[in-house]
Structure 1
Amino acid sequence: MCTGKCSRCIAVTLYPLVLASIICNIMLFFPGWDVKYVKDGHITEEVKYMGGLVGGGLVVLMPALYIHLTGEQGCCGNRCGMFLSIAFAALGVAGAVYSFIVAVLGLGNGPLCNDSGRCTTPFKNSNLTYLADSKSWGECTEPESVVQFNTGLFGALIATSCLQALLCATQMINGLFGCLCGTCNNKEKRPLDHLHSHHA
């Protein structure tokens, strides 16, 4: 596949992942679909690190936009643009890794919830064993179904961040090939096409 076209495919795939990451992080601020917990500051600590919003969201969006430009004809669709895309893709990997680490911590420590009348994280030292023991989820009486809520969204963030890191790493390799061999955009073929039409 042409390196320019590959860049476009990677960027187009990154956009929905960025959107999903941002949406998951925003939803995590409203456990039980209620705003009162965020108002009172009773939110799981890892949610406040905004791994999905900042890391998997804004930090990955910047490389996605630039990588898209390298796949187009113009100022970035050349060897120099491809070289710069390697640095941008590395930034994307860093953002995705940050999102992944925060999500793993959020999943590992479990949610902040009301346990016997006090706000605590009852599953913090369970080493993820609480995920297999659905009976223990009843310890969190409030917010409603917060364990399932956090598990689903942090799990989604882990999946999206892994895909983002994979795509950005692929672009680093693609950018290296593009830097060495060119982007093979139509612009590079035009002079030859013009000569053929002239002779015809």
Structure 2
Amino acid sequence: MCCSVDFARSLGLALLPLALCCILANLLLLFPMGEITYIQQDRLANYVWYFGGLGGGGALMLVPAVVFITLGKCNCCWNQSLMMCGSVLAAVVGLVGSGYSFVISGLALVQGPQCFTSYGWTYPFADQWGRYLLQPETWSRCLQPVHIVEWNVTLLCVLLGLAVLEFIICLLQLGNGLVNAVCRPCCYKQEYSLNA
């Protein structure tokens, strides 16, 4: 059988927990150390408000996940071909979403968190182009929220990793869908000649 519908469904099932984890990681970024006061005072880093994990790696990733899981529910040949084209489009949506999540998380990681220092509320690592990540002894510059650098670095690295996994899964389905779009006519010709 040329079309690997089961493969697409398994990819969709793999995307669901990844998307939910992206949403959770992004929500945790909004509440440093579980506190609500920083969001109320607008003391969060700018890139947190771009919702890379919530929108790109989360909500947008639910589109390909649902399409992949529901692929092949109808046995009609025309519908399966249409659904395979739909899975390719959904894979492209997933690639865009995971790419967005990756870029926003990377930019947020390079910029560093907004925190209270001896100079007031500022971005103490913004001019370092990410070098602060290799210098944990400088993280103590951030006095409030406590451990905000560790909090942000951990969650943003999680988002980067999840975005890479989502990108790979969507890329696999893009390849699977394109191969099946090319192979499917060949299979039908072979089936037709065997039945004749």
TM-score norm. by structure 1 comes to: 0.86
Map 1:1-200; keep pairs closer than 5 Å.
3-73=4-74, 78-116=80-118, 118-182=120-184
Number of residue pairs aligned between Structure 1 and Structure 2: 184
Structure 1 letter corresponding to 2:82: C
User: Are the counterparts in 2 of residues 96 and 161 from structure 1 also a CA contact under 8 Å?
Assistant: yes
Post-superposition CA distance 1:164-199 (Å, at most 9, x none): 0111111111111222334xxxxx9xxxxxxxxxxx
Match of 2:193 in 1: none
**1:71 Cα deviation (Å)?**
4.5
Deviation at 1:156, TM superposition (A): 0.3
- Distance change in 2, residues 1:41/1:57 (3 Å): same
Report the alpha carbon displacement of residue 139 of structure 1 after superposing the two structures with TM. Answer: 0.3
Which of structure 1's runs of 4+ aligned residues deviate more than 4 A? 73-77
Distance 2:62 2:85 in 1: 18
d(CA) in 2 for partners of 1:30 and 1:46? 14
Secondary structure at the aligned position of 1:164 is classed as helix
Q: Deviations over 1:40-72 (max 9, x none)?
A: 111111110000000001111111101111144
1:73 offset after TM fit, Å? 4.2
| SS in structure 1 at match of 2:21 | helix
Name the SS of the counterpart of 2:61 in structure 1: helix
Deviation of the 1:74 alpha carbon: 5.3
The range that moved more, 71-80 or 167-176, is 71-80
Identity %: 32
Q: Output the aligned Cα RMSD.
A: 1.9
Separation (CA, whole Å) in 2 of partners of 1:180 and 1:78: 13
CA gap 1:41/1:74 in 2 versus in 1, 3 angstroms: farther
Residues 121 and 71 of structure 1: is their aligned pair in 2 closer, same or farther, counting only changes over 3 Å? farther
2:96 corresponds to which letter in structure 1?
A: A
Q: How far apart, in 2, do the equivalents of 1:161 and 1:34 lie?
A: 26
TM-score, length-scaled by structure 2: 0.88
Q: How many Å apart are 1:2 and its aligned residue?
A: 5.1
Return 5+ residue gaps in structure 2 as ranges.
189-196
Tell me the distance in 2 between the aligned counterparts of 1:136 and 1:71: 54
- Following the alignment from structure 2 to structure 1, what is the Cα–Cα distance between the partners of residues 91 and 49? 25
